[in-house]
Amino acid sequence: MRIHLSKADISDVEEQFVLDALRSGWVAPLGPHVESFEAEIAQRCGVAGALALSSGTAALHLALLEVGAQRGTAVVVPTMTFAASANAVVYTGASPVFVDALAEDGNVSPELLMTAVNTLQAEGIPVAAVMTVDLFGRCVDYPSLVDVLADHGIPLIEDAAEALGAAKGGKPAGSFGRAAALSFNGNKIMTTSGGGMLLSDDLTLLARARYLATQARQPVPHYEHTEIGYNYRLSNLLAALGRAQLSRLDAMISRRREIRAQYVLGLSDIPGLRFLGRTGMGSDREDNCWLTCLTLDPTRCPISVDTVIKSLDEEDIEARHLWKPMHMQPVFSGARAFIDGTAEHLFSTGLTLPSGSALSDEEVSTVIDAVRAALGF
C-alpha cells in the first residue's frame, strides 16, 4: 500500500453524520448541517461568523471582492503558496504582486511585504488588500503586520487554508484579518471532500458574500438577478462530513504532532537536514503540523531533493517539493514581484513528507528509514 502525503482520516463518526444527512432528505445544497457547521467553525476560530462554500478559493474570491479588489488595483500576495491564492486575485481583475519568504518557515517576509506596500502606494497604485498565507499549518508573523497594515488603511485577507487549528500567540488561525479563508480539500487537516469556509467578524461582509455565493438571487418570489453571482455554496451532505471531522480535529492535530516528533527524533542527526519552521524545542507548538517539511543544505547534504523524492517514490512513498513560487510560474511570468531569492532556494532544497493523521507508527518508521537510505544514512 502506498504511503500518501496527507490521506483523509475517516472513521465511524463521519459515516454516522453523513447517514444522518442522507436520511434527513437534505441532500441538496444547504440544510441544517450547513448552518451548524458554520456556527461550529466560527466558534472554533474565534470569529463572529462563517460562510460554508464550495472551496477555499471561492472564499478568497468573495473576500477580495468585498474589500474592493478590481481592475486597476493590486493585491500583495506571498510568492511561496499554492496557485489558488494568486488565482483568486486574478478572478477579481486585480493584479497580484508577489513577495518573498522567510528562510526559517517559508511564510511571507513582513519586511519585504511592507516594502512592496510602501512602493506601490508611493507610485499611486491602489492596494486593495494584502493576502497572507499560513504556510503548511504555521501562522504568519501577524504581530509584525496587523497594526502597520491597519495604519496604512489596507485590509488583511488571511489565507488560512492550510492552518485550521493553528494559532499565533494563542489567537486562532483564521481570526487575524478582515476576512479569512479555510480549505476542506481532501488532503487538508480535516476535509469535507471538497469545500471551504469564509470567516469574518464583519457580519455585513459575510451577508454580502452569502448573497453573491447563491447566484446573487434577489429576495423576491421569482428568480431575479441585478448583478452577477456565483454558485459557491457547500452542500448539506458535505457539511455533515465536515462536522464529523471537526469533532475529531483536536485528536487529528495531536496525531500529526506526534508524527512530526517522530520525524524529528528519527532524522535530526543527519547533517544539513532542517525541519521547516522548527527553530528549537517547542518552536512549532502552535502549528497544526499539516505537513512536515524538510530542507537539505546542499553544502552539507549533496543528495538533491529530486533524488530523494524519486527514491521515496520507488518505495511507494509520496513526497513532494515545497510550493513552486508564484513568480516562477509561467502563468504569472509578467507579474510584479519583490524577491530576494529565499522562496526559490526553499523550492530547490525542500520537500514534504507523509504527515496524515491516519498514518501508523510503522508507516512513519518506514518513511524515516527510506529517507535515511536515500541520504546515505
Quick one: average pLDDT of 232-258?
Answer: 97
pLDDT tens for each residue of 301-318: 989 999 999 999 999 999
pLDDT at 29 exceeding the cut of 80: no
Reply yes or no on whether the pLDDT at 323 is more than 90.
yes
The ranges assigned to domains in the chain are: 12-248, 250-374
Q: Please provide the average confidence, as pLDDT, over all residues in the chain.
A: 96
Q: What was the pLDDT predicted at 30? A: 84
Segment 48-67 mean pLDDT: 98
pLDDT at residue 279 greater than cutoff 90: no
Residue 283: pLDDT band (50, 70, 90) is confident
pTM as predicted: 0.96
**Rounded distance between C-alpha atoms, residue 177 and residue 153, angstroms:** 13
The CATH number that domain 250-374 falls under is: 3.90.1150.10
User: Where residue 374 falls among pLDDT bands split at 50, 70, 90?
Assistant: very high
Reported as a pLDDT band with limits 50, 70 and 90, residue 218 is very high
3-state secondary structure the chain: CCECCCCCCCCHHHHHHHHHHHHHCCCCEECHHHHHHHHHHHHHHCCCEEEEECCHHHHHHHHHHHCCCCCCCEEEEECCCCHHHHHHHHHCCCEEEEECECCCCCCECHHHHHHHHHHHHHCCCCEEEEEEECHHHCCCCHHHCHHHHHHCCCCEEEECCCCCCCEECCEECCCCCCEEEEECCCCCCCCCCCCEEEEECCHHHHHHHHHHHECCECCCCCCCECCCCCECECEHHHHHHHHHHHHCHHHHHHHHHHHHHHHHHHHCCCCCEEECCCCCCCCCCCCCCCCEEEEECCCCCCCCHHHHHHHHHHCCECCEECCCCHHHCHHHCCCEEECCCHHHHHHHHEEEECCCCCCCHHHHHHHHHHHHHHCCC
Residue 75 is predicted with a pLDDT of 98
Residues in the chain: 377
- pLDDT band of residue 137 (cuts 50, 70, 90) is very high
Domain 12-248 = CATH 3.40.640.10: yes
Gap between the Cα atoms of 369 and 267, Å rounded = 9
At 27 the pLDDT is 85
Statement: residue 280 has pLDDT above 80: no
Query: For position 253, what pLDDT does the model report?
Result: 98
What pLDDT is recorded for position 144? 96
* Residue 281: band (very low, low, confident or very high) from pLDDT cuts 50, 70, 90: confident
Q: How confident is the model at residue 176 (pLDDT cuts 50, 70, 90)?
A: very high
Across the range 11-38, mean pLDDT stands at: 93
Mean per-residue pLDDT, 186-211? 97
Confidence check: pLDDT of 44 > 80: yes
On the question of pLDDT at 322 being above 90, the answer is yes
